[in-house]
Amino acid sequence: MSVLVWILYDISDDGCRDKVSKACKQYGLVRVQKSAFIGRLEKSRFDELSERCNDLIDDTKDSVYLFPFCQEDFRQIKALGQGFDRKMVNDEVLEKFF
């Protein structure tokens, strides 16, 4: 069973940030902001990505947040202000998740 997930991060090193970004893309997630990804993952893949990110970051200065959501909770998310970066997110992506 897959879950909807948000991955958010604050990583100081460009190279490390690049590796985490690439990992998110390899797991099929879609970038919605410079440091935010969204997508569906099987529970085992969610755990794998969590471990992979943990191995990539410097846990003394970096942060990665992985949030799983059920579909009902996900539908209640509100995006205020500018919401998503429209250069990164098109209507097709928004319809897929919201």
What are the structural domains of the chain?
2-87 (3.30.70.240)
Angle between helices 14-26 and 43-56 (to 10 degrees): 170
pLDDT at 89 over 70: no
Handedness of CA 38, 41, 47, 51 (dihedral sign): negative
By the 8 A CB rule, do 30 and 98 touch?
no
Place of tokens 């997930």: 5
pLDDT for res 85: 67
Cα torsion angle, 43, 45, 49, 55, sign:
positive
Average pLDDT over residues 71-95: 69
Per residue in 5-35, pLDDT (tens digit) is 999 999 999 999 999 999 999 999 999 889 9
At residue 90, the pLDDT reads 66
Question: What average pLDDT does the chain have?
Answer: 87
Per-residue model confidence (pLDDT) at position 13: 95
pTM, two decimals, is 0.81
